[in-house]
């Protein structure tokens, strides 16, 4: 019979040799990343030390780790890149300062000729509400009843169960559900005030073909967009209370409102350093439209505009925006402009941020 005091596991070579297992490090790699990021962002060593100690890291190794990080050649190299980013933020802040001194507000232009739109807005990355361009579109007459008759009852895809998830847009794939067209129309007929279900651009893969009859009710915008055909636009439909949280697009975008009213909040790209961009094109501000809890000296300037039936909002590339439904809304968005709209081929930070 083996002496229990001398027994050991065959897969434990340290114990087999009579050696002690090394103690786990006082500071792990995740904490080291946070130390480096905070040093680069300008946090003091004392504040970082206090937080590590509160997390249970012993004082002496925590202090030694922070001091070693501050002197490490790799971090000094990263500090040079951080300085370049700070210079870029200064340039953005200078632009934002000048923009804040302007008159403010999103202009409304009726029946704006395409060449004027290009020169004054598309080419200058300047938002504008366009009116008087969609009266001839049959889709302007859509109702829930006409949509039921026009499409039949195909299976479509919907974003569901959003309200329980603070990051519902970031996690949009997990919220995809399939249901019958008449089922979603019945939910909308009850006129709920909710963000729990919404047909969005993220559902377009299946819905383009399922909702093909609707594309025949979408007119054209000569001089603005290329030839309208299935796949050129994205379909949006939801109850009052729906929210698209703060984000920016990687293309120029026309948001065409067909039915109901949407409220859109916008922030200039010049204020990107204030938008707490934490992942891809999204902001930590999420669904908070007004940012009223953000200190005034840290809050970006917000433009707010309501778009009703037939209105078109031009959202330039890089402009942060937040969209909420003030009523049942149905609309489309388009990126197939007649002008160059490629801003993604040289987008380098996807997957790294």
Summarised one tens digit per residue, pLDDT across range 290-348 is: 999 999 999 999 999 999 999 999 999 999 999 999 999 999 999 999 999 999 999 98
Chain centre to alpha carbon of residue 233: 19
* Pairing of β 329-334 and β 233-238: antiparallel
In a domain, 120, yes or no: yes
- Does one domain contain both 44 and 72? yes
Q: 293 is written with which tokens?
A: 């809890």
- Does one domain contain both 254 and 184? yes
- Does one domain contain both 95 and 119? no
Q: Answer with the one of 102, 133, 166 that is the final residue of a domain.
A: 102
In a domain, 4, yes or no: no
For residue 46, the surrounding DSSP H or E stretch is helix 45-54
Distance CA 80, CA 73 (A): 11
Q: Answer with the one of 102, 135, 158 that is the final residue of a domain.
A: 102
- The pLDDT of residue 267 is 97
Distance CA 73, CA 179 (A): 57
Q: Which residue has the tokens 């299946």?
A: 206
The answer to whether the beta carbons of residues 153 and 180 sit under 8 Å apart is: yes
In a domain, 13, yes or no: no
- Does one domain contain both 198 and 248? yes
- The pLDDT of residue 8 is 43
- The pLDDT of residue 4 is 44
Q: For residue 203, give the CATH number of its domain.
A: 2.60.120.650
Tell me which residue range forms the domain holding 86. 26-102
- Does one domain contain both 94 and 112? no
The answer to whether the beta carbons of residues 323 and 249 sit under 8 Å apart is: no
- The pLDDT of residue 237 is 98
**215-222 long-range contacts, CB within 8 A, separation 24+:** 216/138, 217/137, 217/138, 217/139, 217/142, 217/150, 218/137, 218/139, 218/332, 219/134, 219/136, 219/137, 219/138, 219/139, 221/133, 221/134, 221/254, 221/334, 222/114
Percent of the chain at pLDDT > 70 equals 92
- The pLDDT of residue 231 is 61
In a domain, 12, yes or no: no
- Does one domain contain both 132 and 204? yes
Distance CA 227, CA 57 (A): 63
Distance CA 293, CA 302 (A): 14
Q: What's the pTM value of the predicted model, to 2 decimals?
A: 0.85
In a domain, 11, yes or no: no
> Which segments of 90-221 are extended strands (E)?
108-110, 128-131, 155-160, 176-180, 197-198
154 closest CA partner among 208, 198, 190: 208
Q: How far is CA 46 from CA 27, 66, 70, 342, in A?
A: 16, 9, 12, 46
- Does one domain contain both 97 and 142? no
- The pLDDT of residue 14 is 53
- The pLDDT of residue 2 is 43
In a domain, 350, yes or no: no
- Does one domain contain both 58 and 118? no
In a domain, 351, yes or no: no
- Does one domain contain both 41 and 190? no
- Does one domain contain both 45 and 116? no
- The pLDDT of residue 277 is 94
- The pLDDT of residue 67 is 95
Distance CA 325, CA 310 (A): 15
- The pLDDT of residue 341 is 95
* Positions in the chain whose pLDDT score sits under 70: 1-24, 227-231
Instruction: State pLDDT tens for residues 16-26.
Output: 555 565 555 78
- The pLDDT of residue 226 is 86
233 Cβ contact list (under 8 Å, min separation 6): 215, 218, 256, 332, 333, 334, 336
Q: Answer with the one of 102, 125, 150 that is the final residue of a domain.
A: 102
- Does one domain contain both 200 and 236? yes
- The pLDDT of residue 195 is 98
Distance CA 187, CA 173 (A): 22
Q: How many domains does the chain have?
A: 2
In a domain, 18, yes or no: no
* Three-state DSSP class for residue 203: helix
- Does one domain contain both 32 and 135? no
């Amino acid at each position: 019979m083996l002496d229990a005091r001398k027994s050991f596991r065959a897969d434990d070579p340290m114990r087999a040799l009579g050696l002690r297992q090394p103690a786990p490090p006082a500071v792990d790699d995740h904490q080291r990343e946070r130390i480096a990021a905070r040093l680069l962002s300008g946090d003091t060593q004392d504040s970082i030390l206090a937080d590590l100690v509160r997390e249970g890291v012993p004082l002496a190794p925590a202090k030694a780790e922070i001091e070693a990080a501050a002197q490490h050649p790799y971090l000094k190299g990263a500090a040079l890149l951080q300085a370049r980013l700070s210079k870029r933020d200064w340039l953005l802040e200078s632009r934002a300062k000048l923009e804040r001194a302007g008159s403010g507000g999103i202009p409304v232009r009726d029946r704006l000729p395409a060449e004027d739109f290009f020169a004054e807005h598309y080419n200058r990355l300047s938002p504008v509400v366009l009116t008087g361009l969609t009266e001839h579109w049959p889709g302007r007459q859509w109702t829930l009843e006409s949509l039921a008759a026009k499409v039949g009852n195909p299976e479509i895809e919907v974003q569901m169960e959003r309200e329980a998830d603070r990051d519902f847009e970031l996690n949009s794939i997990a919220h995809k559900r399939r249901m019958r067209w008449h089922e979603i129309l019945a939910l909308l007929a009850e006129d709920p005030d909710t963000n729990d279900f919404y047909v969005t651009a993220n559902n377009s893969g299946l819905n383009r073909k399922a909702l093909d009859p609707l594309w025949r009710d979408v007119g054209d915008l000569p001089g603005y967009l290329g030839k309208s055909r299935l796949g050129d636009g994205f379909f949006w439909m939801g109850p009052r209370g729906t929210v698209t949280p703060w984000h920016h697009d990687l293309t120029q975008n026309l948001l065409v409102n067909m039915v109901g009213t949407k409220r859109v909040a916008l922030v200039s790209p010049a204020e990107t350093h204030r938008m707490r961009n934490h992942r891809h094109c999204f902001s930590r501000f999420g669904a908070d439209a007004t940012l009223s809890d953000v200190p005034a000296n840290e809050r970006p300037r917000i433009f707010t505009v309501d778009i009703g039936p037939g209105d078109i909002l031009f959202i330039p590339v890089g402009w942060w925006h937040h969209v909420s439904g003030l009523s049942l809304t149905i609309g489309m968005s388009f990126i197939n402009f007649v002008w160059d709209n490629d801003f993604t081929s040289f987008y380098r930070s996807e997957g790294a941020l």
